[in-house]
Structure 1
Amino acid sequence: MISGTRYRLTAEINRQSDLARDIARAQMQISTQKRILNPSDDPIGAARVAEIDRTQANEEAWLRNVETAAALAARADTTLEAVEKVMVRAQELMVAGASETLSDENRATIAAELRGIAEDIASLIDTRDSRGALLFSRGDALEIPVNSGLRIAPVASQADIFENIATAGGPADLVAIVNTAAAALTEADPALRKTAIAASIEAVNDGSAHITAARAEQGVRAARVDNIRERLTESDIQLTELRTDIESTDLVKVIAELEAKKLSLQAAQAVFARVNQNTLFDLLR
């Protein structure tokens, strides 16, 4: 009889313990709003969530790189805009300097402004980014990884933008073109000066056109960076929604089950206490 009583007591205690565990689990699901608390709750779902976690972690790193690329692209565009403006001014000065009515002093003043423009361009070429590195690299263009197997160059190199500019006199760099134009204006021999000015006007026009094209290309680079950023952002939203669908709990259902189990446990405990009070006393005695 005692063995049977102990068996019933043990079974009831185990049942109530199971109810208590279910209640604790339901409370945890409600507080975390997740139905998968342990991999054993849903092995397939847990595996999918882990895979999503890895993908999101990778894409978060890619997105940080993309943000860096976007900042570089924006700074490069601002810098090229400044170069473009001073090159337009250089064109205006060369047209003005070609006038044969100008005095030597007038041409010297224009030449001085052109040399100042050349210095400004040289300074802009050496612009630094937020890391302190050259914005326009002297070697190959900086490439940044933005996805598995994908690297992009948000900014072209110095050589591509400011050097090897096609002119009638052969490839030249932008600073040299402007400095040569300044020198042409101060040539003492009138005939040589006229020829030099004409050649420099063409070279300055070539340089200006080259910078305009380089800025347009920079816009294409920036647009590509924006597209990649948009894709990664959209992917993160989709993955977050998918993860939520997999692991989120149905609050209405869980709360209903929780209340039912709490009532069951309370009722079982009350009945257990009344029915077995003498039995428990006897067993303890």
Structure 2
Amino acid sequence: MRVTQTMLSANSLKNLQDSMLRMDKLNTQVSTQKKISKPSDDPVVAMKGIVYRRSLAEVEQFQRNFGEAYNWVENADSALDKAKLALDRVRELVVQTSNDTYDTEQRQAAKAEIEQLKEHLIEIANTKFGEKYLFNGTDTLDAPVSDTGVPINPPNNEEVEIELSPGVYVQVNIPQSSAFSNGTTDVFTVVQNVINELDSGTSTDLSALLTEIDDQISSNTTARAQIGARFNRIELMEARMAEQKVVASRIMSENEDVDFEQVVTELTVQETVHKAALSVASRIIQPTLMDYLR
């Protein structure tokens, strides 16, 4: 086969173009630090990348869910802690006023304070974070207790659950009927009974009310224990989810990211080869008919 100058020039240009394409690919990998810039570069890497990115996105969404879960349990625990302090003060006043040495004026002063404590307990039962009521089950838009201390009937005891792991839902709320009731009587009725007894001026029934107040305090403690147990579980799940994020990020990086040192080395070698090819091509393409006529 006859080899012409045109064939030499065409082959040289083609090889130079291939060399420039390889350099362009390596330059892109160095600048983006990714193995591929479009799916056609490596369909297998691209498909795996979609799966890994979806897994990482799920983990990140679950991590955002933990923030919502912490809002529920921490606000509920804080509210119940304040309710416990109010009930302790009511009990202290009941113990004091159940003594017959207290006169009418002193009983009225205790009654006034307990009335304020009752209003405080109503405010706690109607605690909100954002626009959501904490103690009204899934009905987060309506207050669980009226301004006079009358719980809604029937109470909403539905569980508020948040997905913190694939298919794993954790309850984050405490209903009003558990947090402010012993299952028979609500705390607002008990406190109102204390107020009524102080109005009557007797101390016999006040002593009997101590047991009911203790029951309400016990219910409060039980509710806080439940919240504490859930809080601990949420913390454990969050730590596990953080580990999953690290693993998912590492796997995605291994699939998509380039070995930077290796790519830089290959780019340097390719640049050297390309310069040599340019030098040789300049000699091949240079001759013309006039060169042969000379």
TM-score (norm 1): 0.88
Match of 2:168 in 1: 150
SS in 2 for 1:101: coil
Once the two structures are superposed, the pairs formed by residues 74-223 of structure 1 within 5 Å of their partners are: 74-130=74-130, 132-137=131-136, 138=144, 139=156, 140-163=158-181, 165-166=182-183, 171-188=184-201, 190=202, 193-194=203-204, 196-223=205-232
In structure 1, C-alpha distance between the alignment counterparts of 2:12 and 2:6, rounded to whole Å: 10
Q: Is the 8 A contact 1:87 1:204 kept in 2?
A: yes
Which segments of 5 or more consecutive residues in structure 1 lack a partner in the other structure? none
SS in 2 for 1:20: helix
Q: Which amino acid aligns with 2:175?
A: S
TM-score (norm 2): 0.85
Q: Is the 8 A contact 1:108 1:186 kept in 2?
A: yes
In structure 2, C-alpha distance between the alignment counterparts of 1:149 and 1:249, rounded to whole Å: 35
Match of 2:44 in 1: 44
Q: Which string of whole-angstrom CA distances, capped at 9 and with x for unpartnered residues, describes residues 39-71 of structure 1?
A: 344433332221110111122222212211112
1:124 deviation in Å? 0.7
Which segments of 5 or more consecutive residues in structure 2 lack a partner in the other structure? 137-143, 145-155
SS in 1 for 2:128: coil
Pick the structure with more helix per residue.
Answer: 1
Match of 2:149 in 1: none
Q: Which amino acid aligns with 2:24?
A: A
1:142 deviation in Å? 2.1
Q: Is the 8 A contact 1:94 1:197 kept in 2?
A: yes
In structure 2, C-alpha distance between the alignment counterparts of 1:2 and 1:89, rounded to whole Å: 110
Match of 2:11 in 1: 11
SS in 2 for 1:204: helix
In structure 2, C-alpha distance between the alignment counterparts of 1:129 and 1:141, rounded to whole Å: 17
In structure 2, C-alpha distance between the alignment counterparts of 1:70 and 1:4, rounded to whole Å: 79
1:281 deviation in Å? 8.8
Q: Which amino acid aligns with 2:221?
A: T
In structure 2, C-alpha distance between the alignment counterparts of 1:8 and 1:146, rounded to whole Å: 66
In structure 1, C-alpha distance between the alignment counterparts of 2:112 and 2:78, rounded to whole Å: 25
Using the TM superposition, name which of 38-47 and 58-67 deviates more. Answer: 38-47
1:279 deviation in Å? 4.2
Q: Which amino acid aligns with 1:181?
A: V
Q: Is the 8 A contact 1:154 1:225 kept in 2?
A: no
Q: Which amino acid aligns with 2:176?
A: Q
In structure 1, C-alpha distance between the alignment counterparts of 2:274 and 2:160, rounded to whole Å: 66
SS in 1 for 2:164: strand
1:3 deviation in Å? 6.8
In structure 2, C-alpha distance between the alignment counterparts of 1:257 and 1:248, rounded to whole Å: 16
Q: Is the 8 A contact 2:178 2:219 kept in 1?
A: no
1:35 deviation in Å? 1.9
Q: Is the 8 A contact 2:111 2:195 kept in 1?
A: yes
Match of 2:278 in 1: 269
Q: Which amino acid aligns with 2:200?
A: E
In structure 2, C-alpha distance between the alignment counterparts of 1:247 and 1:7, rounded to whole Å: 40
Match of 1:59 in 2: 59
In structure 1, C-alpha distance between the alignment counterparts of 2:246 and 2:277, rounded to whole Å: 46
Q: Which string of whole-angstrom CA distances, capped at 9 and with x for unpartnered residues, describes residues 97-138 of structure 1?
A: 1111111211121122112111100011111112x1112124
Q: How many residues align?
A: 272
In structure 2, C-alpha distance between the alignment counterparts of 1:262 and 1:19, rounded to whole Å: 9
Once the two structures are superposed, the pairs formed by residues 248-263 of structure 1 within 5 Å of their partners are: 248-263=257-272
Q: Which amino acid aligns with 2:48?
A: R
Match of 2:150 in 1: none
In structure 1, C-alpha distance between the alignment counterparts of 2:290 and 2:85, rounded to whole Å: 98
1:202 deviation in Å? 0.7
Q: What is the root-mean-square deviation in Å for CA atoms of aligned residues? A: 2.1
